[in-house]
Amino acid sequence: MSVQEYLDKHALARKIEDAVNAAVRAKSTDPVLFISNHMKKAVPSAITKIKARQILDSRGIPTVEVDLYTNKGMYRASAPSGTSTGMYEAIEVRDGDKGKYLGKGVSKAVKNINEKISEALIGMDPSLQSQIDQAMMDLDKTENKAEVGANAMLAVSIAACKAGAAEKEVPLYKHIADLSGKDDPVLPVPAITVISGGNHAGNNLAVQEIMIMPVGANNFEEAIQMGSETYFHLKSVIAERCGSNGCNVGDDGGFAPNISSISEGLDLIKEAIHRAGYNGRIKLAIDVGATDFCIGKRYDLDFKIPKKSEQNFKTGEDMIEMYTQLCAAYPIASIEQPFDKDDWEHTKLLSELGICQVVGDDLLMSNPKRIDRAVQEGTCNALLLKVNQIGTITEVIEVVKQAKDAHWGVVVSHRSGETEDTFIADLAVGLATGQIKAGAPCRGERLAKYNQLLRIEEELGSQAVYAGENWRQL
């Protein structure tokens, strides 16, 4: 193609003339820069290159990172990963070579991106999120993305979402809101991890996390202040009562004192809230992670205690009684995964008591079919949204709509294996979920999300809305 043919094909002579005229009208002090920017906007954006690589997550385990290039810039994203994966979630593709990273490498997923996904997406408009996601799903004939990999698809999908926002010249959360048909961004209440247990810490505490929710804050900035101050008061309380070793932290940044009962942890937190001066303004939340200590149809709350004299088994009915007593004694607003992933019966019985929000994690796996069953049967009343369990942003938006149509709560969640990617912060705001779970005010990969939410609130200015006491009614 000759130069003249190229100019004619893309109508560049007319576009250049328009750019020069615009620079004159604007009385630009730097007409060359003005014309360059004007021309850049006049040319439709298209994906020109996708480059994936293997990086390490916050646990030192490999994950996927993607650089997605358009003719206007480069956009980077990475996929988080959990400690355990369930049979009902989308599948991560890992190498399985025990000689490298103990079999947890992701070079196969990287190859799938650099070869299969890249070839399918080159030339596509990054603002067309659903078409991009569908093109990736069309490459995989399995129901759970086992061929291409949910980790591969997710990193690309997030990068494309960032590129789409840039093409529209809007903030990422605004682009996400547009994709979902919403126009009311909301800053979420953070469920801040303060005590870690379960498989996320080396203490004897069976439950995975105990969190604080600053529902009484006036804005997100104050919520983070309340969370941070309470966290450091808790450090002092733990040091006094359990010794300085109790101030070591788990995967999510929560303290890991060597306690064995939930009430011990709640008492420590209750004292910290009192010392911080936030009585009545902070609610509590528990991620039980009960699937990890369910044996048959009973629950072993001493599963981490070595050389125990007898196993502390509880039936489903015993667990309901325990939760009822805890909710009566402490300001608990939310309990996540209170039973095994397949214990629909007792999860429903707890939900029917109406004593707190009951969040489905392993029970649902962010799987539309399981969410539908839970809605139909009234099993729980909130979704824990883990984007890597789904695989694409289009599907994420769909399951959030599914949950909200059922008048459920939605908790956007991090994973134990996180990166510095802040996407879930914008996701929570754009989809107005009202709740986000991103770990402790400690460890950079956790704080990255909270800091991004601070920036978003600052950017929204007087239009910023903090979910606060309305965290369940959005």
CA distance 326 to 332: 8
List the catalytic residue out of 386, 404, 426, 449: 386
- Burial class from Cβ neighbours inside 10 Å (0-12, 13-18, 19+) for residue 83 reads middle
Tell me the backbone φ, ψ of residue 97, rounded to 5 degrees. -85, 105
Kindly report the three-state secondary structure assignment for every residue of 393-410: HHHHHHHHHHHHHCCCEE
β-sheet bridge partners, residue 409: 382
Query: Do strands 189-196 and 73-78 pair parallel, antiparallel, or not at all (unpaired)?
Result: unpaired
CA atoms within 13 A on the CB side of 29: 0
> Is 361 annotated to bind ligand?
yes
The closest alpha carbon to 468, from 200, 204, 283, belongs to 283
> Is 437 annotated to bind ligand?
yes
Instruction: Identify the residue whose tokens are 């009962």.
Output: 261
CA distance 118 to 280: 52
Helix-helix angle 220-242:262-276, to 10 degrees: 120
> Is 274 annotated to bind ligand?
no
Instruction: Identify the residue whose tokens are 């399918």.
Output: 120
On whether the CB atoms of residues 431 and 176 are closer than 8 A, the answer is: yes
> Is 416 annotated to bind ligand?
yes
On whether the CB atoms of residues 199 and 208 are closer than 8 A, the answer is: yes
The closest alpha carbon to 411, from 399, 394, 393, 395, belongs to 399
Instruction: Identify the residue whose tokens are 């007593």.
Output: 325
* Cβ neighbours around 70 below 10 Å, total: 22
> Is 196 annotated to bind ligand?
no
> Is 415 annotated to bind ligand?
yes
Contacting residues for 203 by C-beta, under 8 A, at least 6 apart: 196, 197, 256, 257, 258, 259, 304
Q: Respond yes or no: is residue 108 known to be catalytic.
A: no
CA distance 292 to 301: 10
> Is 287 annotated to bind ligand?
yes
Contacting residues for 258 by C-beta, under 8 A, at least 6 apart: 203, 204, 242, 245, 246
β-sheet bridge partners, residue 196: 209
> Is 413 annotated to bind ligand?
yes
List the catalytic residue out of 252, 300, 340, 426: 252
CA distance 452 to 223: 14
Q: Respond yes or no: is residue 252 known to be catalytic.
A: yes
Contacting residues for 324 by C-beta, under 8 A, at least 6 apart: 353, 355
Annotation: binding site for substrate: 200, 209, 336, 361, 413-416, 437
Annotation: binding site: 200, 209, 287, 336, 361, 413-416, 437
Annotation: binding site for Mg(2+): 287, 336, 361
Q: Which residues are catalytic?
A: 252, 386
